[in-house]
């Protein structure tokens, strides 16, 4: 009789554990990433009982009650709900995020992360999400996800200096007056850094295109390409056009001012000269390029030498810029692509200068092994017209927004139009995830039962993909929990009835003795 009271007590205690599990599930019905639990009961060891061996069929055993065998976690996926930031992340699979705080590592399914003021990606309890920084497409060591915020409180993408300029235009018919002795360099000699209005008067050219360019310091500069037809007779029907590339003389670091405020080099701002050769159909068929070298005047034809072609068979010039206003000093090495590629690395004849050309086009150092490109200059007559231009450059950019792919790649998009992969977010799984230790705050810790966290990429080996701007809700099934609540309530009531009934019987026995 006394044992029945003890058995009833085990029933109350065990069903109390079950009720506690249900109440915890219901309390966390709205907790992000929460995984419900369920209690598993087992009976206690039985005790042999005295029995009449004449009539006993089996062994006489008395049960000793019930106990909690295990409280298991249900790792089925919860529903997905919209987040309010791209750093809200859900895992469509069975992986875990790894987080660290004060040197302690934990794992979580709750992906409600935010960047704090110091640039680190944290959960609401201050744990730092772990990821691998990406540099030039290569992932680095696992560590805290951190955005390097500068003093302006913005993450920036560095400017890219201009390295190539391409122009597509129609030359038209020139109207400028050429130097009869050096008609191929009339604009070059007309350039005057100390000119009243501009280095090159409008009467000296028939067409011009001003293009933005960026130097090595990220400053936006302006380069201008001028064109004009060369008035020389040609029995073969070829047409020749001179072009020059110039910049603001005030920004040219190659020269300085005298005491009177005049440029010491009259050719300040002159970067490149050249000749374009068109056939009678108006198609560009050849060209030459000259660069200013040394001397006190870049417009002096003795200081202009043919340019060496780069690995793409194109001429290249270098601009050195002064610091002006808020712009810092910088440089830019720029390739000019007008539609023709020559022999890569071709070098000009030794000692050749623009002064040796005169008015004879056969003296021009033209390209060999010419490869016309799809976009190429034309000279169809009529007036000059600019079709398009391209520069492979961009300014300093500020982080505009982030994106996170299903593979866990966090990328930034900047105001300069550039994108950059920043971090690879890995996921972790375990040999026995049911053995993980719950640490509160939606966290789990590994132990000997679960085994160590095994890192891997999202979408691999069942870890699941990452869904940005989304949160995984609790997987608690309220209908199921309410049914369980009724079961545990009935179990508690029944076991309490056993105890009260046993108590009454004991009192009756005591009364009989008296």
Residue 497 confidence class, pLDDT cut points 50, 70, 90: confident
Q: What's the full length of the chain, in residues?
A: 514
Alpha helix positions (H), 128-235: 186-190
Residue 141 confidence class, pLDDT cut points 50, 70, 90: very high
> Which residue is associated with the tokens 């309410």?
482
What is the reported pTM?
A: 0.72
Structural domain contains residue 479 = yes
CA atoms within 13 A on the CB side of 188: 29
Structural domain contains residue 159 = no
Structural domain contains residue 499 = yes
335 and 359 part of one domain: yes
CA distance linking residue 20 with residue 511, whole number of Å? 39
**Averaged pLDDT for residues 406-418:** 91
Measured between its terminal Cα atoms, the distance across the chain in Å is 19
Q: Which of 391, 412, 447 is the last residue of a domain?
A: 391
List of E strands, 432-476 = 437-440, 443-445, 454-456, 465-468, 470-472
348 and 250 part of one domain: yes
Alpha helix positions (H), 291-435: none
Closest listed residue to residue 248, CA positions, set 227, 277, 221, 275? 221
**Averaged pLDDT for residues 34-56:** 73
SS (H, E, C) 111-151: CECEECCCCEEECCCCCEEEEEEEECCEECCCEECECCCCC
**The two structure tokens encoding residue 289:** 């390029």
Residue 241 confidence class, pLDDT cut points 50, 70, 90: very high
Here the CATH number for the domain that contains residue 313 is 2.60.98.20
Strand-pairing partners, residue 108, are: 97, 443
Residue 448 confidence class, pLDDT cut points 50, 70, 90: very high
> Which residue is associated with the tokens 């068929």?
285
CA distance linking residue 13 with residue 491, whole number of Å? 10
90 and 125 part of one domain: yes
Region of 403 please: left (phi>0), alpha (psi -120 to 50) or beta. beta
194 and 277 part of one domain: yes
Of the chain, the percentage scoring pLDDT greater than 70 comes to 93
CB 207 within 8 A of CB 386: yes
Closest listed residue to residue 77, CA positions, set 92, 89, 88, 87? 92
**Averaged pLDDT for residues 388-393:** 77
- Higher pLDDT among residues 169 and 510, named by residue: 169
Supply the pLDDT for residue 60: 67
Q: Which of 363, 391, 419 is the last residue of a domain?
A: 391
CB 7 within 8 A of CB 65: yes
Q: Which of 328, 359, 391 is the last residue of a domain?
A: 391
Is it the case that residue 430 has pLDDT exceeding 80?
yes
202 and 265 part of one domain: yes
Supply the pLDDT for residue 51: 58
Of the chain, the percentage scoring pLDDT greater than 90 comes to 45
335 and 287 part of one domain: yes
33 and 100 part of one domain: no
Cα distances (Å, whole numbers) of residue 106 to 10, 276, 438: 35, 68, 10
138 and 241 part of one domain: no
191 and 280 part of one domain: yes
Query: Angle at CA 41, nearest 5°, toward 59 and 39?
Result: 170
DSSP designation for 494: H
DSSP 205-263: -SEEEEEEEE-TTS-EEEEEEEEEEE----TT--EEEEEEEEE-GGGBTT--B-TTS-B
CB 26 within 8 A of CB 481: yes
Give the model confidence (pLDDT) of 101-131 as tens digits.
999 999 999 999 999 988 899 999 999 999 9
169 and 295 part of one domain: yes
**Averaged pLDDT for residues 252-271:** 87
CA distance linking residue 272 with residue 16, whole number of Å? 89
CB 333 within 8 A of CB 320: no
Is it the case that residue 514 has pLDDT exceeding 80?
no
**The two structure tokens encoding residue 106:** 């934990």
CA distance linking residue 69 with residue 74, whole number of Å? 16
Q: Reduced to 3 states, what is the DSSP secondary structure of residue 462?
A: coil
Q: At what angle do helices 2-27 and 478-513 cross, to 10 degrees?
A: 160
Strand-pairing partners, residue 512, are: none
Structural domain contains residue 66 = yes
182 and 320 part of one domain: yes
Q: H/E element holding 10? A: helix 2-27
Q: H/E element holding 258? A: none
Supply the pLDDT for residue 307: 92
433 and 355 part of one domain: no
Domains held by the chain: number = 3
DSSP designation for 498: H
Q: Which domain holds residue 369?
A: 164-391
> Which residue is associated with the tokens 């501009």?
198
- Higher pLDDT among residues 242 and 512, named by residue: 242
Residue 357 confidence class, pLDDT cut points 50, 70, 90: very high
Structural domain contains residue 141 = yes
Residue 56 confidence class, pLDDT cut points 50, 70, 90: low
CA distance linking residue 324 with residue 131, whole number of Å? 42
Kindly calculate the radius of gyration of the chain based on its CA atoms and give it in whole angstroms: 41
Is it the case that residue 55 has pLDDT exceeding 60?
no
Structural domain contains residue 214 = yes
- Higher pLDDT among residues 249 and 11, named by residue: 249
């Amino acid at each position: 009789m006394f044992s029945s009271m003890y058995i009833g007590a085990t029933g109350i205690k065990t069903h109390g554990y079950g009720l506690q599990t249900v109440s915890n599930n219901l309390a966390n019905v709205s907790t992000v990433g929460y995984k419900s639990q369920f209690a598993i009961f087992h009976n206690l060891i039985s005790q042999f009982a005295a029995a009449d061996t004449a009539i006993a069929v089996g062994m006489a055993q008395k049960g000793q009650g019930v106990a909690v065998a295990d409280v298991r976690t249900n790792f089925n996926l919860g529903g997905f709900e919209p987040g309010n930031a791209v750093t809200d992340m859900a895992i469509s699979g069975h992986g875990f995020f790894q987080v660290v705080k004060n040197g302690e590592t934990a794992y979580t399914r709750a992906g409600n992360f935010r960047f704090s003021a110091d640039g680190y990606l944290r959960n609401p309890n201050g744990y730092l999400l772990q990821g691998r920084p990406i540099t030039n497409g290569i992932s680095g060591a696992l560590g805290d996800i951190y955005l390097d915020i500068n003093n302006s409180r913005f993450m920036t993408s560095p400017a890219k200096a201009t390295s190539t300029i391409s122009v597509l235009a129609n030359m038209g018919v020139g109207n400028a007056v050429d130097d009869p002795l050096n008609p191929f360099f009339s604009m070059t000699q007309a350039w005057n850094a100390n000119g009243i209005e501009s280095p090159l008067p409008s009467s000296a050219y028939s067409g011009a295109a001003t293009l933005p360019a960026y130097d090595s310091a990220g400053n936006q500069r302006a380069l201008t390409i001028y064109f004009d037809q060369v008035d020389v007779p040609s029995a073969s029907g070829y047409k020749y056009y001179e072009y020059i590339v110039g910049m603001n003389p005030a920004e040219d670091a190659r020269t300085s001012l005298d005491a009177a405020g005049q440029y010491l080099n009259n050719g300040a701002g002159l970067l490149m000269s050249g000749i374009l050769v068109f056939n009678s159909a108006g198609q560009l068929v050849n060209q030459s390029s000259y660069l200013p070298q040394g001397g006190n005047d870049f417009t002096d034809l003795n200081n202009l030498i043919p340019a060496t072609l780069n690995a793409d068979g194109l001429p290249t010039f270098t601009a050195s810029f002064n610091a002006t206003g808020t712009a810092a000093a910088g440089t830019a090495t720029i390739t000019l692509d007008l539609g023709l590629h020559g022999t890569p690395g071709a070098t000009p004849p030794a000692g050749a200068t623009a002064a040796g050309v005169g008015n004879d086009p056969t003296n021009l150092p033209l390209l060999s092994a010419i490869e016309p490109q799809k976009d190429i200059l034309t000279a169809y007559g009529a007036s000059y017209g600019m079709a398009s231009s391209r520069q492979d450059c961009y300014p300093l950019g500020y982080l505009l927004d982030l994106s996170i792919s299903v593979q866990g790649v966090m990328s930034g998009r900047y105001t300069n139009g550039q994108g950059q992969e920043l971090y690879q977010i890995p996921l972790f799984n375990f040999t026995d995830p049911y053995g993980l230790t719950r640490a509160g705050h939606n966290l789990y810790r590994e132990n000997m039962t679960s085994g160590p966290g095994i890192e891997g990429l999202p979408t691999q080996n069942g870890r699941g993909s990452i869904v940005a701007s989304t949160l995984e809700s609790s997987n608690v099934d309220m209908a199921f929990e309410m049914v369980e609540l009724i079961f545990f309530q009935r179990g508690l009531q029944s076991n309490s009835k056993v105890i009260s009934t046993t108590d009454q019987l004991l009192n009756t026995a005591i009364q009989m003795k008296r």
